[in-house]
């Protein structure tokens, strides 16, 4: 019979202490990457398998994180959360956690699902993708002291709970500066109706950048629900103005694709910038603001593991997006 592979065997093989192997298994973020890789390689080479049930008994952890998967939408903006989910699963795997998926029709159903999942699987934590004003879900979780992190800020109370977000205003500010730098002076914004945290934030970046250049009075500010058809319709209206804009910053790639369509039909030389750098943007050559989704997912997992391990951590993480230049601006 082959020798039983234990933590001690792995430690000998990787030339580290047993405590380091234990850290790699239970708190990998405290281990230097090079060491972590060496230990992981030893674990793979030796076929070491930590007994999860035993580990759970010892640590009180199931090492399961639950994430909601959104219903399929138009497939354009939906791809953002899909990419976040990919990143989250990859980082969680590396940190020794698994991702459990669930669906929910609305906030009430989602809270009922939390209750069900916590009873059923003894989950360690939740990752919420997105927050609303006065979100009842985060209040429910906080009341029960269930660890969670949101991808998206609580707009009403920034310190309410741990979150990771991308600075949307910085993204539209970059886009607007790029258009100013290339000579545009009438730069419109095509956004969502006021009242959504994400949409208002992106509008603010455009507005403050134009104001700093002394140009905010001359800039049309249009709003509509999201969608390619909606973007095309509103852009047609903007092009029909007495002094039409020469460029437009859009709150989403869906609206930008619609705007692009209107611009092409009218053969108007109007620059268009989208937001989210979706696969569709790449395919049609749309300049767009890219969110660092893999980094955001990794920071969510880091934040959660630090919380679960009682490590000190900065519980609010704001990441910078990046403007990806293509053909339309």
Our finding on whether 30 is near its own copies (CB under 8 A) is no
Looking at the Cβ atoms of 54 and 240, the one nearer to its own copies is 54
Segment 267-306, which members bind its own copies (CB under 8 A)? 278-280, 282-284, 294
CA distance 73 to 324: 24
- Binding-site size for its own copies (CB under 8 A) equals 48
Window contacting its own copies (CB under 8 A); options: 100-108, 152-160, 179-187, 243-251: 100-108
Task: Name which position in 121, 142, 225, 318 contacts its own copies (CB under 8 A).
Answer: 121
Looking at the Cβ atoms of 45 and 157, the one nearer to its own copies is 45
Strand 287-290 vs strand 322-324: parallel, antiparallel, or unpaired? Answer: antiparallel
Query: Residue 28 half-sphere exposure, CB side, CA atoms within 13 Å?
Result: 22
Window contacting its own copies (CB under 8 A); options: 64-72, 154-162, 166-174, 208-216: 64-72
Cβ contact 121:100 at 8 Å: yes
Q: Minimum distance from CB of 79 to its own copies (Å)? A: 6
Question: Judging by beta carbons within 10 Å of its beta carbon (0-12, 13-18, 19+), is residue 47 exposed, middle or buried?
Answer: exposed
Our finding on whether 116 is near its own copies (CB under 8 A) is yes
Our finding on whether 46 is near its own copies (CB under 8 A) is no
Looking at the Cβ atoms of 169 and 228, the one nearer to its own copies is 228
CA distance 127 to 147: 9
Our finding on whether 72 is near its own copies (CB under 8 A) is yes
Cβ contact 223:284 at 8 Å: no
Cβ contact 253:275 at 8 Å: yes
Our finding on whether 2 is near its own copies (CB under 8 A) is no
DSSP 240: T
CB-CB neighbours of 214 under 10 Å: 8
Name which of 277, 258, 274, 276 is nearest 266 in CA terms: 258
Window contacting its own copies (CB under 8 A); options: 16-24, 77-85, 164-172, 241-249: 77-85
| Positions in the binding site for its own copies (CB under 8 A) | 44, 47, 49, 51-53, 63-64, 69-72, 74-76, 78-79, 82-83, 85-87, 89-90, 93, 98-103, 109, 112, 115-117, 119-121, 228, 257, 278-280, 282-284, 294
């Amino acid at each position: 019979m082959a020798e039983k592979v234990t933590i001690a065997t792995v430690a000998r093989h990787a030339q580290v202490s047993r405590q380091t192997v234990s850290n790699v298994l239970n708190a990998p973020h405290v281990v230097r990457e090079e060491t972590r890789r060496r230990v992981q390689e030893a674990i793979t080479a030796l076929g070491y398998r930590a007994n999860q049930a035993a580990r759970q008994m010892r640590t009180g952890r199931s090492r399961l994180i639950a994430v909601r998967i959104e219903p399929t939408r138009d497939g354009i903006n939906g791809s953002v959360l899909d990419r976040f989910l990919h990143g989250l699963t990859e980082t969680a795997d590396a940190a020794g956690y698994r991702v459990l998926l669930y669906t929910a029709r609305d906030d009430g159903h989602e809270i009922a699902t939390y209750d069900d999942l916590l009873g059923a699987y003894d989950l360690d934590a939740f990752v919420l993708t997105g927050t609303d004003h006065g979100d009842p879900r985060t209040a429910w979780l906080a009341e029960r002291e269930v660890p969670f992190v949101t991808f998206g800020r609580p707009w009403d109370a920034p310190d309410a709970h741990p979150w990771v977000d991308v600075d949307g205003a910085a993204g539209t500010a970059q886009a607007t500066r790029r258009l100013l730098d290339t000579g545009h002076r009438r730069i419109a914004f095509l956004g969502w109706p006021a009242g959504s945290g994400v949409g208002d934030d992106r509008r603010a970046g455009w507005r403050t950048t134009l104001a700093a250049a002394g140009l905010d009075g001359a800039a049309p500010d249009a709003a509509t629900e999201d969608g390619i058809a909606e973007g095309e319709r509103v852009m047609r209206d903007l092009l029909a103005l007495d002094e039409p804009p020469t460029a437009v910053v859009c709150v989403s790639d869906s609206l930008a694709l619609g705007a692009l369509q209107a611009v092409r039909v009218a053969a108007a030389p109007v620059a268009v910038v989208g937001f989210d750098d979706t696969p569709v943007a790449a395919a049609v050559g749309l300049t767009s603001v890219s969110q660092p989704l893999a980094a955001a997912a990794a920071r969510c997992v880091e934040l959660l593991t630090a919380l679960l391990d009682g490590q000190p951590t900065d519980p609010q993480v704001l990441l910078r997006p990046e403007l990806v230049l293509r053909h339309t601006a």
